[in-house]
Amino acid sequence: MFSANELVCERGERLLFRNLGFELGRGEALLVGGGNGRGKTSLLRILCGLSAPAAGTVRWRGEPIGRTRERYAREMAYLGHANGIKDDLSPMENLRIAAALNGRALDVAAATAALERIGLSRCMDLPARVLSFGQRRRVALAGLMTAGALLWILDEPLTGLDVEGVALVERMIRDHVMAGGLAIMTTHQPMSLDGLTPQTLSVGT
């Protein structure tokens, strides 16, 4: 369903990687590794369509993502280093407005269930500016849960989370993939995905 072929990425005059490729189908995950500054985030931005490769193609359902942009945007969810949370809005408001901007209806009950599952039941109506970094990260993760996306692209999803939060994210990813979803992720921390063995890809080596 998702593939990258002969990708080349350059930053200024520096070559980050070349001839990079992979294929993922339903129920599969990819773990992207590589040292700092080697191009992991640059690769994910290319896969999301936020940046263009110097060469190569990214395809979703057999079509280049540039030709199927609207459908791809509906079926892909990206979680980057920035949480994308509005400070003046509550976690509940952040989820519902994000859904509306993506053309989806998210009722209060569904948003509440996601926030409770992610451990934010006591602060779902507080302004996001008073939340800790870890709590803000959980709001972003709740948005991932409610996005209804088949493909998750996650850049360091464990950042800022405590041990309980890490275990929760690991379960989320495992459950998503085991249910037929796709996931691509980077992480500097060991990740335990019981019953799931991701493909691996090393960038910039």
**Nearest partner of 117 among 72, 59, 171, 54, judged by Cα:** 171
Residues 13-46 have pLDDT tens digits of 888 889 999 999 999 999 998 877 778 999 999 9
Residue 183 DSSP code: E
> Residue 112: pLDDT above 90?
yes
**Rounded-to-integer distance, Cα 78 and Cα 83, Å:** 10
**pTM, rounded to two decimals:** 0.90
Q: No. of H helices and E strands in the chain?
A: 6, 9
Q: Domain 2-202 in CATH: superfamily?
A: P-loop containing nucleotide triphosphate hydrolases (3.40.50.300)
Domains of the chain, residue spans: 2-202
24 Cβ contact partners less than 8 Å away, ≥ 6 residues apart? 1, 2, 3, 30, 182, 184, 199
**CB neighbour class for 197 (10 Å; exposed up to 12, middle 13-18, buried from 19):** exposed
**Rounded-to-integer distance, Cα 108 and Cα 96, Å:** 8
Residues 115-136 have pLDDT tens digits of 998 889 899 889 999 999 889 9
**Nearest partner of 72 among 102, 43, 28, judged by Cα:** 102
Element (H, E) at 182: strand 182-186
Residues 153-199 have pLDDT tens digits of 999 988 888 898 899 999 999 999 999 999 999 987 778 888 888 99
